[in-house]
Chain A
Amino acid sequence: MNTIRIIGIGSPFGDDQIGWRVVEAIAKSALMNLLPADKVSMYTLDRPGISLIQYMQSAELIILIDAMRSKQCIPGTVKCLDVSHLANVIETLSCHGFGVADALQLAKELNLLPPKLLIYGIEISPASTITANNEFINQIILQVLQNLRSALSIQ
């Protein structure tokens, strides 16, 4: 695997696909010019659970994009997260109860997190239909790209 990994996490169910859609858009965007092409790998993972940790190993930069839902949920909100934000996540859609938050917490305990980890959570709700609305999803993609451009330029 290359050392820069852009990972969209999701499932085929409704707006839980949004991480995949964003990664697909990143692959076609000018943002890729900011990254060394021979070092970048992109993945769309379907509910990887604890297997997400295997994608962390020997990476120098990981960009993780996933759907999320918080108490203040406003569908379409893009949030930049830190691993510490995920300590109290309640996972409901994962096999054996191991979701993204648990995988990242475990990787942290085992010193397997990469030196640079950018996590983007995109708020969805059970009733939201973001991925069916091209205009809405394009706004979200634009926001993620802007955030990433800023984050990568600072490095």
Chain B
Amino acid sequence: MAEREVSIHVPILARVEGEGALHLRIRGDTIEELKLQIYEPPRLFEKFLEGRSYEEIPDMVARICGICPVAYQMSAVNALESLFGVDPGPWVRAMRRVIYCGEWIESHSLHIHLLAAPDFFSYSSGIDMARHFPQEIRRGLMLQGLGNELMRMLGARSVHPVGIKVGGFHHAPHPYEVKTMLDKLHAAVPEAEALIKWTATIPVPQDEQYFTCVSLRHPDEYPVHVGKIISSSGLDIEPPEYEQHFAEHQEPHSTALYSLMQNKPYLVGPLARVNLNQDRLPPQVQQLLLQTGISWPSRNMFNSIVARAVEVYYAILEAIRLLENYHPAEPSVAVIPRAGTGYGCSEAPRGVLWHRYEVDENGLIVSTKIVPPTSQNQARIEEDLYISLTAFGLEHADNELRLHCEKVIRNYDPCISCATHFLRFTTERV
């Protein structure tokens, strides 16, 4: 019998942010080659920041991504404030958490309804799905709009917000704005509960794998904007220790760097966060989590859609908690830059986002390193594809294999634009 050779090339991955492709070669019953090709042009942000003032950094790094700008700003201010010895105070910390909740709500709602859910109902797009699930898609758009509005309240706009600065915010919302926002958040609570219940009923493949989860951890709260770095394999470190345990390298087929922890792939993102921090969720969120019927911590990446829904609910409740007794305050503290190296982390919607800044005595950036969640997940995505395709069955028709690959990749909600800003760049002039 002739050996089957399958070569599947997905030239453009649909329903992911940015540009990537997948190349797969199967010989007989073996995957001979599998490459997740990121060909989004490198955008070289790490070089752009050199020589800029620390004051410009929040606005500049926000432009790395249109979907998760707050995450970049937050990791940046965490790093710079840790270096400068700045404590912005409880009001700023609370409001930073609020704006970040807005970003989680907006990003997760978009992904659940328009990127991931169509896969599980065999629709080619959210537009096609809207014809038969109008109520669900409308709910998703409402929640996404709510997240955007929360971001605008503190950031002046939802795309590349301009409200965050080193030391705090440029502006404190008026109590009337907050009251209006609170009313909308309260109205959204039953919708978020319904969202969890709906995502838990969506039929997904049962594809359990062993993988290491990495997330932030905080003594008191579900990790959003600050924390230590932990893993399901026992890692427990502070942000400055990151490079002692994680290392990046480039593969020839990708413009985005790969990241390994002690030479192994690992997972960051909502599933990792829920897996590692279930005990930090409020009781009503934990209750709904248990009612999903999923055994947590979950080893099935297809449960990520439920993890995102849980985080939408959590973010709404957390924003309510933080805004309920709102009072305007001085939105920022004074900052005096100093030379040295600062490290900062936060939990972007897609996972841990780590920044390092070397700064001179004038507050100018000397060097930068930014490690986005999507680059951290690249190796895990390829590992997942190997395992998942083998379990799915390589005898499936090419089109079925391709669709399965795309579903696996979309579980990670990769943000490819974020992953391609940091290619090392050298020139030689002769």
Residues of A near any B CB (own CB < 8 A): 46-51, 53-54, 95-98, 102, 105-106, 109-111
Contact = CB atoms under 8 A, between A and B. Distances in A.
Given A46-B159, A95-B17, A109 B131 contact: yes
A53 B141 CA distance: 8
A95 B67 contact: yes
B404 to A, nearest CB: 20
A126 to B, nearest CB: 15
A47 B159 contact: yes
B194 interface: no
A110 B132 CA distance: 10
24 contacts: A46-B159, A48-B159, A50-B114, A50-B141, A51-B148, A54-B145, A54-B148, A95-B17, A95-B67, A96-B17, A96-B67, A96-B114, A96-B115, A97-B17, A102-B127, A105-B127, A106-B114, A106-B130, A106-B137, A106-B141, A109-B127, A109-B131, A110-B134, A110-B137
B134 A109 contact: yes
Interface residues of B, number: 25
A32 B145 CA distance: 29
Contacts of A46: 157, 159-160
Q: Is the interface of B mostly helix, strand, loop or mixed?
A: helix
Interface of B: 14-17, 66-67, 110, 114-115, 126-127, 130-131, 134, 137-138, 141, 144-145, 148, 157-160, 417
A53 B109 CA distance: 14
A1 B305 CA distance: 33
A50 B125 CA distance: 13
Residue among A49, A54, A97 facing the most chain B CB atoms (10 A cut-off)? A97
A95 B160 CA distance: 12
A91 B8 CA distance: 24
Q: Is the interface of A mostly helix, strand, loop or mixed?
A: helix
A9 to B, nearest CB: 12
A51 B144 contact: yes
Contacts of B110: 50, 96
Contacts of A51: 144-145, 148, 158
Nearest to A101: B127
A95 B413 CA distance: 13
A97 B15 contact: yes
A51 B66 CA distance: 12
A50 B126 CA distance: 11
A109 B15 CA distance: 19
Nearest to B14: A97
Contacts of A95: 17, 66-67, 417
B14 A106 contact: no
Contacts of A96: 15-17, 67, 110, 114-115
A102 B115 CA distance: 13
A37 to B, nearest CB: 25
A95 B17 CA distance: 6
Contact of A50 (B14, B17, B138, B144): B144
Contacts of A109: 127, 130-131, 134, 137
A115 B273 CA distance: 44
Contacts of B15: 96-97
Given A46-B157, A54-B148, A109-B127, 10 more contacts: A50-B114, A50-B141, A51-B144, A96-B16, A96-B17, A96-B67, A96-B114, A97-B17, A106-B130, A106-B141
A111 B137 CA distance: 12
A15 B103 CA distance: 30
A112 to B, nearest CB: 8
